[in-house]
Amino acid sequence: MANILVLGAGVMGSAITVPLTDAGHVVRLVGRHLDAELIASIRQARFHPRLRSHLPESVAPYTNDQLGEAMRGADLVFLGVNSEGLDWAAERLRATLPPGVPVILLTKGLRGNGKSIEILPRVLEARLRTGQRGGVCGIGGPSIAGELAARRQTSVVLAGPDQALVDRLSECVRTPYYHVWPSIDLVGVEVCAALKNLFALGVGTIAGLLERSPAVKDEVRMHNPASALFAQALWEMEHVVARLGGRKSTVRGLAGAGDLYVTCQAGRNCRMGRWLGLGMRYSEAKARHMSEDTVEGAETAAAIRATVDAMIDSEALDGVVLPLLTAIMDMVCNDGPVDIRWDRFFAERARSIPQRRV
């Protein structure tokens, strides 16, 4: 049994308390400064209004100002804030995290420093005091918060810098329905976890394009183009992961193909993609229809756009291989139209195929 603190009472931070308590741990859920109403609801009725689920009775809810108290005796910390809250969380953890206590990020996103793309576990670790760095890990894979809270069979990858650490932590949080597989490809898992949101936004444009297309008999859908975008997304993710030092094989597993699949089924990124496919520009769609929603794929695009451009210019990334990534970033960052560059897909593979003479 371990004492586990979860910082961030959003849907995923709250959902993770279910398998953690089922695994026999003592769990303390600490809300952000923006989570006061959520913590109040959990205290009064054990109900999370955004997750639309009851949390286990043994989960102890704390408000933001009680972080120091909740941190006492902690063996492990889960960080469930969104990417915009990472710097806030880093400052709070810098002041309260005991030395040697590992942190597992549920947060998804990337940062660009103008020269290279940074994964969030390394961003967080750099902001912690040296003596506090017990190992910063990340989780990737197909895990919808509502399904996890309902104890659906869920498989994820827990990645970190050290095999012994990820083996121990995976065993610690695993349950009969929460299947946790260890990996030391932290770069690959984190890049996939962030880019899948961005690419799901692109796949989501097909729903809007379908609604705009002329009606046809027999309810013919648009699975063909959506599937092609899905395949191209995996192709481009492999390129970025490899260039940043990760393993291509990670893209073909839970953190890449698995997480991209589930993200393309529904959610905020696909909803935004639909609005863009209907012909709306990003700034208008955000203001009119999703002003209160965090669109993770759009945030990732904004965070890395300038750095991706610089890496393409320096040939650290091959722009020819990334037509979908650059098109989505243009839609989000420049209010560009949906411009699917079909003839540029799989360019690197196409160049390796010998041309037949007719």
Question: What's the token pair of residue 245?
Answer: 């030092």
The reported pTM is 0.91
Residue tagged 């597992």 (tokens): 104
The whole-number pLDDT of residue 267 equals 87
The whole-number pLDDT of residue 357 equals 46
pLDDT averaged per 10 residues in sequence order, the chain, 358 residues: 95 96 96 90 91 93 94 96 91 92 95 95 88 84 95 97 95 97 97 97 94 70 89 97 97 97 92 96 96 92 97 96 96 96 78 48
- What is the β-pairing status of strands 136-140 and 154-159? antiparallel
Closest CA to 336 of 308, 311, 305: 305
The DSSP element (H or E) to which 287 belongs, if any, is helix 282-289
Burial of 48 (0-12, 13-18, 19+ CB in 10 A): buried
Question: What's the token pair of residue 339?
Answer: 């411009």
Closest CA to 262 of 107, 143, 148: 143
Question: What's the token pair of residue 301?
Answer: 């695009």
In the chain, the domains with their CATH numbers are 3-184 (3.40.50.720), 187-351 (1.10.1040.10)
Q: How far is CA 99 from the centre of its chain?
A: 27
Judged by DSSP in three states, 159 sits in: strand
